[in-house]
Amino acid sequence: MTRSSTLSAGADAPPLVDLDFHKRQKALSFALLLPAAFAVLTLILYPLIRVVEISFRDGRMMNFARISELPLGLGNYARVLGDANFWNACATSALYVTGSVGVGFLIGLATALLLNEKLPGTRFLRTLILLPWAVPGVIVAIMFLWLLDSSFGVFNAMLRDVGLLTGDFPWFVDSRSALISVVLATVWKTYPLITLTILAALQSVPRDLYEAAMIDGANRWNSFFDITWPGIKGPAYLVIMISALGVFRDIDIVFATTNGGPARATETLALYVYKEAFHYFRMGAATAVGTLMVGVAFFIAFLFAGLANRARY
Amino acid sequence: MAGIAIRDVRKSYGSLEVMHGVSLDIKDGEFVTLVGPSGCGKSTLLRMIAGLEAISGGTVEIGARVVNGLAPKDRNVAMVFQNYALYPHMTVAENMGYSLRLKRTPKAEYDGKIQRVAEILGLGELLQRYPGQLSGGQRQRVAMGRAIVREPDVFLFDEPLSNLDAKLRVQMRLEIKELHARLGTTVIYVTHDQIEAMTMADRIVVMRDGVVEQVGSPLELYDNPANAFVAGFLGSPSMNFLEGRLTGGADQGFELTAGTILRTGRQMPGDSSPALLGIRPESIRIEEGGTEVRIAAIEPTGADTHITASIAGQHLTIVINGRVSAKVGETIPVAVDPAALRYFAPEDGRRLA
Amino acid sequence: MSIRRILFWLVLAGFTVVTLFPFYWMVMTAIMPTDAILARSPSLLPDLSRASFAPFVEIFVDKPFLIWMRNSLIVNLICTTLSLLVAALAGYSLSRFTNRPQQALGASLLVSKLVPSSLILIPLFIIYSNIGLFNTYAGLVLANMTIGVPLATWLMKGFFDRIPRELEQAAMIDGATQLQALRQIVLPLARPGLAASTVYLVLTNWSEFIFARTLVDTPSRQVLTVGMQSFVGEQMVDWQLLMAAGTVSVLPAVILFIFLEPFLVSGMTKGALAGT
C-alpha cells in the first residue's frame, strides 16, 4: 500500500515539547465552565451567602450599604418565629402548594391519560391544552381577576344564570374564597407541564405489558395500578416536585391578584419575604425567613428526588 | 506502517486501578485481537492506544514513538467504533472525506481517494446518502471506509461487528480479513466473541480484570492454554472441567469426586492432589470399553451432534462428528485422547500439565 | 369508534374548552363593545359583527405599551443571548466531563433552582444600590440570568447528553482538534437543543415580573409585565383596554409556543426534568 507521510507537524517535533493532550483537554473543560461558574458565583452563590449573613444582623438599617455593620445575633430568627404572620404564611404556603399541585396533578394525570388514548385530533388538542404554560404569571393573574370579577366577571354571570348566585360575589376579596381563587389561577398555569411529563412517561410504557396483563385477565383498573402507575411514577414524582417548588417560590400570581390579602389570607411565605423586605424594609426578618425556606425546599427536593430515584427500579 | 509497543500500561480512576500493567508488542502488519469478558479492560486499552483515554502509567509507542501525550489526531490511527459513530449530518462521502478535509487535501486527490475506497467496499451507489438512510451493514462499511481513507499506521476496531446479525457478521469477518491482507496495515481488534478472535487473528491477547492472561496464535492458545480461564474462554462449546483427584500408579486415571475413575490411559503428574481436568468436547469419542456416561440431552446441529452427559454428578459436553443413535437416558462408553487432556489447579486455575 | 372512546373524547374536549376559555374571554372582552361584555349577564357567544379592533390601537396611544414592549424585548434578547452562550459552553462541559469543578457547578445550579426570586432579590437589591446597577437594563439582565443560566445549562446538558461522544472521538481520530470537533460535529447536531433552549429562555424572560418590578422604578424603563400589573392598581380598571393589552402580550408567547411545541416537548421532558 502506498502511504503518504501523514504525520502531522506536531508529531515531527519531540513529543515532550507540547503539553499533554489529556491535560489540555481537562483545561478546556474547565475553561468552558468559567463563564457559568462566574455567573453562578456572583449572581447566585454570593447573594445567597449575603442572605444568610443579613439574616444574622440584628437591628434595622435603612442605609443598605452599611447593613453589614450591624451586630451579629439571632434576633431576626427570634422575631420571625414569634410572629403570628410568619406562621400564618407557613400555613398559607402549605395550603397553596398542596392545593395547586394536588389539583394540578389530578387534572394533569386525567388529561395525560386521555391524550394517550390516541383519539382523533389529540395531537392538536395537546398543543391547545399546553398553552397556559406559556402565559406569564402576571397575565394569568389579570385574566382571572377579570373572569372572577365580582360584578362583571363572566363566572358570576354564569352562576347567576343557573341560579346559584344572586347579586355579586368578590372571589378574590372575600377571605373565604380568596385562596381558592388564587389556587384556581395557579392550577390553570401549572397543570400543562404535569400533563406533558406524564404523557411522555405514558408513551414510554411498553405496549406489550398491557397485552400481557390483558391475557392475564387484568381489567382497566388493575392495569392502571399494576402497569401504568409503576411505569410513570418516577417522572410523576419528579414533576410534582418541580411544580411544587415552582409554586412555593413564585409570587407573580399571588402578588398580582390579591397581594396577600384580604387580611393576609393569601400571603404565602415567598410573598411574606417580599413584603418584609420591600414594604417594611425589614431585610433581616425577610432573609431569616428566606434562609428557612431554602432549607425546607432543599429537604423536600431531597425527599422527592429520593422517591423518584427509587421509582426507577 | 508501524508496530506498537505497550510497556507496563496502567489505568486508574482516582485510587481505583482497573488496568494493572499490561505489556504487549505488536509487529508491523500484524492482526491482533484483544479478547475477554466485558469489563476486562480490552476496550480501555484500545482507547488508550487511540488517545481517547489518558494513560495513567507506562508507555504506548506507535512506530517507536511514545504517544502518551499526543492528541488522537497526531497518532495517525483510525478507529471503527461499535456503533460506527458516523456523523449524522454528513453524507457518506463527507463522512469518509472528513479526515481529508481536515488535512486540506486538494479536490482531485480527495475525490480520487473516496472513489477508490468506495469501490473497494462497494459503496459507490451510496455516496450521497446520509447515515440515517443506510442499513446496519452499510453503516459498518462506511465506518470502515472512513478508517481506510485516513491511511493510518494502525487500524483500531472496537467490537465493530457486534451490532450486525449473525450472517452478516460472518461475511464482514471475511471482508475485514481480506482488507487486512490487501492493505497490510497493523490491526488491533477488540471483541468479546471468541470465534471472531480465533478466526481473524494472527495473535490473540486474552485479557481478564485488567491483566493479560495469555498471548499467542489462536491454535497455540487453544491447544496450550496457560490457565483454566483461557482454556474455558476459547472454543465452542467450551472445554469441560471435571473436578477430581489425580491418581498415581496403576489406575492410570482421574478419580472424580464420587469415586468413579475416568480412565485416561496415561501416567498422571503428581499424585492424589485435587485437580481440574480439562477436556475439549471434540476430543471425547464413543468407544467400547470406555467409561460409561449417562446421556442427559442430545442436540443435533446437522454436521455434529452435541451430547450433554453426566458422569458422577458432573456434566460433560461431547461433540461427535456425524449422528448418534443413542437416546436420552441411555449410557454410552466414552474414551479420551490422553494427549488432549489438560490439568489445572482447582484453587487458581493455573495449568498443571 | 366505541361509545367509551366517544365519551373519552368528549371529556377531553371539555377539558380543552375550559382550558382555553380564559383566552377566549380575554379576546372577546378586548374586541366586543363594552355593553356586550360589561353586563350582568353577557352572552358567551357575542355577536361578532359588532367586533372592533380599536382597543388594540388605543393601548398604544393611551398607554406606554410600545415602550414596555421595547424594554421587555431589549432585556429579553440580551439576557437570552448571554444565558444561552454561557449555558451552551457549561452544558457541554457538564455533559462530557465529571471532574470536581463540573460536580461543583452542577450542585450549585441545582441549589439555585430552590431559591425563590423574592429572596435572591434582597441581596441583589442591596448590591445594585451599592454599585449603581439599580434602574438599569444591565441590572435586570443580570438578575434574569439567575433564572436563565441554571435553566438553560441543564437543558443544554440534556441535549448534549443525547449526542454520542463517539462522534467527537471519531472526529478527533480523523484529525480534528477538540475545538474543531465541537464546532464541526457537535454544534450542528445540537441545533435543535439550542432552538429549544432559546424559546425557553425567551418565554421565561418574557414572563419575569418581580425582578423588573423591584429593581427598576423609572417608568421609561419598565417592562411589559410590570406595566400590565400597574393597570390593575388603578381606581377604575378599564377591562377592555387591559384585555386588549393582555392579548397582545400573550400573543408572541403563544405563537412561539405553537410553532416550536415539538422541540419544547422533547426538551421539557428530557432536558428539563433530567436536570432537576
**Fold (CATH) for B4-233:** Rossmann fold (3.40.50)
What is the predicted pLDDT for the residue at B1? 65
Residue B232: pLDDT band by 50, 70, 90 thresholds? Answer: very high
What is the predicted pLDDT for the residue at B266? 60
Domain assignment present for A18:
no
Q: Rounded CA gap, C168 and C145, in Å? A: 30
**A24 vs B contacts (CB less than 8 Å):** 71
Distance in Å, alpha carbon of C198 to nearest chain A alpha carbon: 14
- The 8-class DSSP code of residue A69 comes to G
CB C204 within 8 A of CB A193: no
Q: Which of A5-9, A130-134, B257-261, C242-246 has the lowest mean pLDDT?
A: A5-9
pLDDT(C203) > 50:
yes
What would the pLDDT profile of C136-158 be if each residue is shown by its tens digit?
999 999 999 999 999 899 889 98
Instruction: List the grid coordinates of A107.
Output: 387534572
Over residues A222-251, the mean pLDDT reads 86
Over residues B315-324, the mean pLDDT reads 90
Residue B248: pLDDT band by 50, 70, 90 thresholds? Answer: low
Contact across the interface for B74 and A11, Cβ inside 8 Å: yes
User: Cell 377539558 maps to which residue?
Assistant: C15
Q: Is A57 helix (H, G, I), strand (E, B) or coil?
A: strand
Kindly state whether C2 is in contact with chain A, defined as any CB-CB distance less than 8 angstroms. Answer: no
Q: Which residues of chain A from 222 to 241 reach within 8 Å of chain C, CB to CB?
A: 235, 238-239, 241
Half-sphere exposure of C153 (CA within 13 A, CB side): 32
Pseudo-torsion of CA B187, B192, B193, B197, nearest 10°?
30
Instruction: List the grid coordinates of B196.
Output: 471472531
What would the pLDDT profile of A53-65 be if each residue is shown by its tens digit?
889 888 777 777 7
What is the predicted pLDDT for the residue at B87? 93
In chain C, CATH 1.10.3720.10 sits at 63-274
Q: How many CB pairs under 8 A join B and C?
A: 59
Over residues B102-116, the mean pLDDT reads 93
Instruction: List the grid coordinates of C202.
Output: 425567551
Q: Which of A106-115, A144-153, B82-91, C39-48 has the lowest mean pLDDT?
A: C39-48
What is the predicted pLDDT for the residue at B269? 59
Q: Which of A131-135, C77-81, C235-239 has the lowest mean pLDDT?
A: C235-239
Domain assignment present for A38:
no
Highest mean pLDDT among B150-159, B307-316, C4-13: B150-159
Over residues C252-260, the mean pLDDT reads 82
What would the pLDDT profile of A238-249 be if each residue is shown by its tens digit?
888 889 888 998
| A contact test, residue of C12, C84, C118, C228 with most A CBs within 10 A | C118
Highest mean pLDDT among A198-207, B33-42, B250-259, C31-40: B33-42
Q: Which of A37-46, B246-255, C187-196 has the lowest mean pLDDT?
A: B246-255
pLDDT(A132) > 50:
yes
**A22 vs B contacts (CB less than 8 Å):** 54, 69
pLDDT(C268) > 60:
no
**A117 vs C contacts (CB less than 8 Å):** 5, 8, 12
What would the pLDDT profile of B9-40 be if each residue is shown by its tens digit?
999 998 899 999 999 999 999 999 999 999 89
What would the pLDDT profile of A254-271 be if each residue is shown by its tens digit?
999 888 878 888 999 999
Residue A8: pLDDT band by 50, 70, 90 thresholds? Answer: very low
Residue B225: pLDDT band by 50, 70, 90 thresholds? Answer: very high
Distance in Å, alpha carbon of B145 to nearest chain C alpha carbon: 12
Reference B22, options B235, B184, B219, B188; nearest CA is B188
Q: Rounded CA gap, B173 and C274, in Å? A: 40
Q: Which of A222-236, B166-180, B301-315 has the lowest mean pLDDT?
A: A222-236
Amino acid at residue number B56: S
Q: Measured on CA atoms in the order C241, C243, C244, C249, is the torsion positive or negative?
A: positive
Residue B72: pLDDT band by 50, 70, 90 thresholds? Answer: very high
Q: Could you check whether the bond before residue B237 is cis, i.e. omega within 30 degrees of 0? A: yes
Reference C39, options C248, C239, C243; nearest CA is C239
pLDDT(B247) > 80:
no
Contact across the interface for A152 and C37, Cβ inside 8 Å: yes
Looking at domain C63-274, which of 3.10.180.10, 1.10.3720.10, 3.50.50.60, 2.40.110.10 is its CATH number? 1.10.3720.10
CB B23 within 8 A of CB B212: yes
Contact across the interface for A11 and B65, Cβ inside 8 Å: yes
**Fold (CATH) for B240-344:** OB fold (Dihydrolipoamide Acetyltransferase, E2P) (2.40.50)
CB B49 within 8 A of CB B188: yes
Q: Which residues of chain C from 71 to 90 reach within 8 Å of chain A, CB to CB?
A: 85-87, 89-90
Over residues A120-143, the mean pLDDT reads 88
Residue A156: pLDDT band by 50, 70, 90 thresholds? Answer: confident
Distance in Å, alpha carbon of C198 to nearest chain B alpha carbon: 22
Q: Which residues of chain A from 259 to 278 reach within 8 Å of chain C, CB to CB?
A: 270-271, 273-274, 277-278
The chain B residue lying nearest C168, using CA atoms, is: B85
Kindly state whether A61 is in contact with chain C, defined as any CB-CB distance less than 8 angstroms. Answer: no
The DSSP bridge partners found for residue B262 are B254
What is the predicted pLDDT for the residue at C52? 84
Expressed as residue numbers, the domain containing A122 is 79-310
**B67 vs A contacts (CB less than 8 Å):** 15
Reference C198, options C264, C110, C271, C249; nearest CA is C264
pLDDT mean across residues, chain A: 84
Residue A16: pLDDT band by 50, 70, 90 thresholds? Answer: very low
Distance in Å, alpha carbon of C272 to nearest chain A alpha carbon: 10
Count CB neighbours of A49 within 10 A: 12
Q: Rounded CA gap, C156 and C267, in Å? A: 9
| C contact test, residue of B80, B89, B157 with most C CBs within 10 A | B89
Count CB neighbours of B17 within 10 A: 14
Backbone angles phi, psi at B95, to 5 degrees: -60, -50
pLDDT(B114) > 90:
yes
- In chain B, the N- to C-terminal Cα span, in Å, equals 40
- The 8-class DSSP code of residue A175 comes to T
Contact across the interface for B74 and A1, Cβ inside 8 Å: no
Contact across the interface for A16 and B73, Cβ inside 8 Å: no
Using an 8 Å CB-CB cutoff, list residues of chain A that contact chain B. Answer: 1, 3-4, 6-8, 10-11, 15-16, 18-22, 24
What is the predicted pLDDT for the residue at A36? 93
Query: Rounded to the nearest 5 degrees, what angle is found at the Cα of A216, between the Cα atoms of A211 and A217?
Result: 100
What is the predicted pLDDT for the residue at C199? 86
Cα C155 to chain centroid, rounded: 14
Domain assignment present for A44:
no
Total count of domains within chain A: 1
pLDDT(A13) > 70:
no
Domain assignment present for A209:
yes
Above pLDDT 90, what percent of chain C?
38
CB B144 within 8 A of CB B120: no
The chain B residue lying nearest C175, using CA atoms, is: B73
The chain A residue lying nearest B149, using CA atoms, is: A3
Against chain B, the chains showing at least 3 CB pairs within 8 Å are: A, C
Contact across the interface for B184 and A8, Cβ inside 8 Å: no
Contact across the interface for A1 and B184, Cβ inside 8 Å: yes
pLDDT(A14) > 60:
no
Query: Rounded to the nearest 5 degrees, what angle is found at the Cα of C124, between the Cα atoms of C123 and C128?
Result: 120
**A26 vs C contacts (CB less than 8 Å):** 97, 99
Tell me if the pTM is above 0.90: no
Over residues A13-34, the mean pLDDT reads 77
Contact across the interface for C172 and B51, Cβ inside 8 Å: yes
What is the predicted pLDDT for the residue at B6? 95
Choose between C149 and B338: higher pLDDT: C149
Choose between B233 and A300: higher pLDDT: B233
Kindly state whether C229 is in contact with chain A, defined as any CB-CB distance less than 8 angstroms. Answer: yes
Nearest neighbour of A1 by CB, restricted to B69, B71, B183: B183
pLDDT mean across residues, chain B: 90
Three-class SS string for chain B? CCCEEEEEEEEEECCEEEEEEEEEEECCCCEEEEECCCCCCHHHHHHHHHCCCCCCEEEEEECCEECCCCCHHHCCEEEECCCCCCCCCCCHHHHHHHHHHHCCCCHHHHHHHHHHHHHHHCCHHHCCCCHHHCCHHHHHHHHHHHHHHCCCCEEEEECCCCCCCHHHHHHHHHHHHHHHHHHCCEEEEEECCHHHHHHHCCEEEEEECCEEEEEECHHHHHHCCCEHHHHHHCCCCCCEEEEEEEECHHHCEEEECCCCEEECCCCCCCCCCEEEEEECHHHEEEEEEEEEEEEEEEEECCCEEEEEEEECCEEEEEEEECCCCCCCCCEEEEEECHHHCEEECCCCCEECC
Contact across the interface for B54 and A22, Cβ inside 8 Å: yes
Q: What is the CATH number of the domain that holds A149?
A: 1.10.3720.10
What would the pLDDT profile of C51-76 be if each residue is shown by its tens digit?
788 888 888 888 888 999 999 999 99
Nearest neighbour of B73 by CB, restricted to C166, C175, C185: C175
Count CB neighbours of C267 within 10 A: 23
What is the predicted pLDDT for the residue at C276? 34
Domain ranges of chain B: 4-233, 240-344
Count CB neighbours of B182 within 10 A: 11
Classify burial at A182, counting beta carbons within 10 Å of its beta carbon; exposed 0-12, middle 13-18, buried 19 or more: buried
What is the predicted pLDDT for the residue at C237? 78
Distance in Å, alpha carbon of B250 to nearest chain A alpha carbon: 60
What is the predicted pLDDT for the residue at A163? 84
Listing DSSP states for C88-128 in one string gives HHHHHHHHH--SHHHHHHHHHHHHHTTS-HHHHHHHHHHHH
Nearest neighbour of A7 by CB, restricted to B66, B76, B184: B76
Nearest neighbour of C119 by CB, restricted to A51, A132, A238: A51
Domain assignment present for A242:
yes
What is the predicted pLDDT for the residue at B353? 72
What is the predicted pLDDT for the residue at B94? 94
What is the predicted pLDDT for the residue at A134? 87
What is the predicted pLDDT for the residue at B258? 63
What is the predicted pLDDT for the residue at A4? 41
Stated length of chain A: 313
CB A141 within 8 A of CB A253: yes
Count CB neighbours of C93 within 10 A: 26
Contact across the interface for B98 and C166, Cβ inside 8 Å: no
Q: Rounded CA gap, B218 and B213, in Å? A: 14
Reference C168, options C157, C189, C182; nearest CA is C182
User: Cell 432573609 maps to which residue?
Assistant: A287
